[in-house]
Amino acid sequence: MAYQTIKKVLGGAVIAGLALLGTVAHADKLKVAGIYTQPIQQKWDAALHKGLVAAQAAGEIEYVFSEKVANTDYVRVMREYAESGVGLVVGEAFGIDPEARKVADDYPNVAWLMGSPAKSHGSNFSVFDNYIHEPCYLMGIIAGTMTKTNKIGMVGGYPIGEVNRLFHAFMDGARSVNPDVQFKVSFIGSWYDPPKAKEFAYAQVEAGVDVLYAERAGVVDAAREKGIIAFGNVNDMNKEENGENVVVTSALWHMESAINHAISLVKAGQFKAEEYHSWTMMAKGGASLAPYYEFESKVPASAKAEVEKLAAQIKSGQFTVNINDNEPKSTF
Burial class (CB in 10 A: 0-12, 13-18, 19+), 297: exposed
- Cβ(288)–Cβ(314) under 8 Å? no
Query: Is 142 a member of any domain?
Result: yes
Are 183 and 171 in contact by the 8 Å Cβ rule? The answer is yes
Measure CA 105 to chain center.
27
Confirm whether 277 is domain-assigned.
no
Domain shared by 171 and 292, yes or no: yes
Same domain, 200 and 117: no
Beta strands at 229-234 and 211-214: parallel, antiparallel or unpaired? parallel
Cα–Cα distance, 307 to 140 (Å, whole number): 10
124 and 142 co-located in one domain: no
Q: For residue range 80-99, what is the model confidence (pLDDT) as tens digits?
A: 999 999 999 999 999 999 99
Q: Are residues 152 and 120 in the same domain?
A: no
In single-letter form, the type of residue at position 312 comes to: A
Residues 191 and 157 in one domain: yes
Cα–Cα distance for residue pair 224/153, rounded to 1 Å? 14
Q: Give the residues across from 10 on adjacent strands.
A: 13
- Order across the sheet with 247-253: list the strands: 182-187, 151-156, 211-214, 229-234, 247-253, 287-289
Model confidence, pTM: 0.89
Work out the angle at residue 93's Cα, subtended by the Cα atoms of residues 92 and 94, and round it to the nearest 5 degrees: 100
User: Do 161 and 68 sit in the same domain of this protein?
Assistant: no
Is 328 within the bounds of a domain? Answer: no
Q: Of 159, 284, 307, nearest to 231 (Cα)?
A: 307
Residue 20, domain extent: 3-128
Asked if residue 261 belongs to a domain, the reply is no
pLDDT at 27: 45
Domain termination site, one of 80, 96, 128:
128
Residues 163-190 have pLDDT tens digits of 999 999 999 999 999 999 999 999 999 9
Distance (Å, whole) CA 89 – CA 19 = 18
Same domain assignment for residues 193 and 91: no
> Residue 98: CA atoms inside 13 Å, Cβ hemisphere, count?
0
45: Cα separation from own chain's centroid: 8
The model's confidence at residue 191, banded by pLDDT at 50, 70 and 90, is confident
Mean pLDDT of the region 122-126? 98
- What's the structural domain count of the chain? 2
Dihedral (C-alpha) 131, 300, 290, 130: value to the nearest 10 degrees? 10
Convert 274-294 to b/e letters by CB count within 10 Å (16 or more is b). bebbebbbbebebbbbbebee
Same domain, 206 and 312: yes
Domain assignment present for residue 206? The answer is: yes
Q: Among 128, 157, 172, identify where a domain stops.
A: 128
Pick from 128, 157, 173: which residue ends a domain? 128
Q: What are phi and psi of 186, to 5 degrees?
A: -135, 145
Over the stretch 223-265, which tens digit does the pLDDT of each residue have?
999 999 999 999 999 999 999 999 999 999 999 999 999 999 9
Query: DSSP secondary-structure letter at 247?
Result: E
Question: For residue 198, what is the domain's CATH number?
Answer: 3.40.50.2300
In this structure, the answer to whether residues 185 and 301 fall within a common structural domain is yes
Radius of gyration over every alpha carbon of the chain, rounded to an integer in angstroms:
20
Tell me, yes or no, whether 263 lies in a domain. Answer: no
Same domain, 108 and 169: no
Task: Tell me the C-alpha to C-alpha distance, in Å, between residue 246 and each of 226, 230, 288, 302.
Answer: 10, 6, 19, 21
Residues 196 and 210 in one domain: yes
Based on the domain organization, do 169 and 214 belong to the same domain?
Answer: yes
pLDDT tens by residue, 256-300:
999 999 999 999 999 999 999 999 999 999 999 999 999 999 999
Query: Residue 14 in 3-state DSSP?
Result: strand
